[in-house]
Amino acid sequence: MTVSTATSPALRLSATSYPGAIPGVAIPSYDRDKVQVGVVHFGPGAFHRAHQAYYFDKLLGHDPRWGVCAVSLKSPGVRDALEPQDGLYTLAQLDADTTFRVMGSILEVLVAPEDPPSVFARLAAPTTRLVTLTVTEKGYTLSPDGGLDENHPDIIHDLANPREPRSAVGYIVEGLRRRFAAGLAPYAVVACDNLADNGWRLKAAVVAYAGKLDEELARWIDREGRFPRTMVDSITPATDDALRARVLAATGLEDAWPIQREAFTQWVVEDVLPADAPDLASVGVILTDDVRGFERAKLRLLNGVHSTLAYAGLLRGHETVFEAVSDPTLAALARDMMVKDIIPTLTPPRGLDLQGYADAILARFQNPEIRHLLSQIAWDGSQKLPFRILGTLTETLEAGRSIERLVIPLAAWMRFVARRAKAGEPIVDPLQERLSALGAAATGDAKTDVAAFLALDTVFPAALAGHPAFVAALETAYANLG
């Protein structure tokens, strides 16, 4: 991150300067001096500031209890950028007509290793009712089987030094311990990383960790704690100097670290929050008893079609999702897959119109302001395709419906691997070595090449790899893409 200091301080975004933003820029509609901290958030990266902080900013328009204390577990970068701006930053919502909004929901940014007492004070405060997290999957310190990783260096350290934690789990438990000792109710803990059953997994890890320190505390957390499962969605490109210049031109204010995202945003939360939790539904958060239903729809309709456009689009010479979906052939493939193949395998959760959701996804793909690289989506295909495509394909095959479209992303992935291997280009994938060897050995003959790929038993289940109709359809698609 580059923080410019060349501009006059009077033009720097701050509590005194933001009312002078260029007309048309949305600014906080509430008095920030009357806002109190009700949320502690771990991991104040770009996605949090574009997503959860946006919902809290909307909420503050009618309820001042939900300001955010953002906590970085490692880097001081966000604090150093936002502190001179009084926590304010600009959100650019990218669409055909891009809009700009000054965000005021983050009241302070703490760097945990520098000031643990301040973090604990916020966690233990009676006004804190919600703790949210965007710490990436690895930040949950889980083992491969989904439980607490007791061999993780941070967990080893935290169990030996529970009052001086390093991990998110360690901070959450120490904060809860202090509330338990003070006779306060636990805060609700809302994991916001795209990890299946994220809240349940985090609760299990927190209870397991607490049990190593105090069994009574662990029982209290297990009994009283609320850890809803969630799903989050919004494409958030990285901040660069071009965005900074664009924000300066649009707002008249210099912002060291503005954020950009597509206009579409979604936050789905399991409806188990306590009665004194914020009224998230009032600002567009979906409260549901079927988070898995939303996850399944996203995985198959959004992620599955994303992968299809990535591999097929790269074969046709495209670089971005926008370019791929602007190709009439690929646009028709994407829509037909959604409507004719994927939606029939889904049971819509209450509150989700699958056809409307599919239409919204296609509209997002057609957003010219979002430059989403197909090459990036194509990473880790051996890990993504089994979840994004094979479930839909297997159910479609079992139902006796055509799978001719559903095998295209698999065949295109195989062609993609072969093309990169023969060009000597790296394949970003945990199975890189094996895939490179398979791709280099590919002859172009459908039967031979497909058989070699289907031998990847960590990708293709034996029952599917040996299914005659699947193999025949895949061979045909592979041959047609040659």
The angle subtended at Cα 440 by Cα 438 and Cα 442, nearest 5°, is 65
Residue 80 sits in the same domain as residue 218: yes
| DSSP letters spanning 279-329 | -GGGGTPEEES-HHHHHHHIIIIIIHHHHHHHHHHHHTT--BHHHHHTSHH
**Where residue 228 sits, what CATH number does that domain have?**
3.40.50.720
Q: Considering 259, 289, 319, which residue would you say is the last residue of a domain?
A: 289
Inter-CA distances, 344 with 17, 101, 291, 322, 354, Å: 53, 39, 19, 26, 10
Question: pLDDT tens per residue, the chain (482 residues)?
Answer: 444 444 445 499 999 999 999 999 999 999 999 999 999 999 999 999 999 999 999 999 999 999 999 999 999 999 999 999 999 999 999 998 999 999 999 999 999 999 999 999 999 999 999 999 999 999 999 998 889 999 999 999 999 999 999 999 999 999 999 999 999 999 999 999 989 999 999 999 999 999 999 999 999 999 999 999 999 999 999 999 999 999 999 999 999 999 999 999 999 999 999 999 999 999 999 999 999 999 999 999 999 999 999 999 999 999 999 999 999 999 999 999 999 999 999 999 998 999 999 999 999 999 999 989 999 999 999 999 999 999 999 999 999 999 999 999 999 999 999 999 999 999 999 999 999 999 999 999 999 999 999 999 999 999 999 999 999 999 999 999 98
Residue 2 lies in a domain: no
**Which of 289, 321, 355 lies at the terminal end of a domain, its last residue?**
289
- CA angle 125/131/135 to nearest 5° reads 135
Number of domains in the chain: 2
**Is there a domain that residue 4 lies in?**
no
416, part of any domain: yes
Same domain assignment for residues 347 and 199: no
- Together in a domain, 165 and 272: yes
Alpha-carbon distances of 286 from 53, 114, 199, 478, rounded to whole Å: 16, 36, 16, 41
Checking phi first, is residue 352 left (phi over 0); if not, alpha (psi -120 to 50) or beta?
beta
- Is 371 found in the same domain as 248? no
Query: Which residue carries 């789905």 as its tokens?
Result: 268
Last residue within a domain, chosen from 232, 266, 289: 289
The answer to the question of residue 251 being in a domain is yes
Are 285 and 324 in the same domain?
no
Query: Do 94 and 28 share a domain, yes or no?
Result: yes
Write down the pLDDT at residue 6: 43
Same domain, 307 and 279: no
CATH of the domain at 454: 1.10.1040.10
The answer to whether the beta carbons of residues 37 and 258 sit under 8 Å apart is no
d(CA 180, CA 203): 16
- Does some domain include residue 218? yes
Q: Enter the pTM of the model.
A: 0.90
Confirm whether 303 is domain-assigned: yes
Q: Are residues 296 and 285 in the same domain?
A: no
Structural domain boundaries, residue 275: 9-289
- Same-domain status, 271 and 321: no
In a shared domain, residues 238 and 258? yes
Residues 196 and 52 in one domain: yes
* 132 falls within a domain: yes
Is 3 part of a structural domain of the chain? no
- Do 371 and 225 lie in one domain? The reply is no
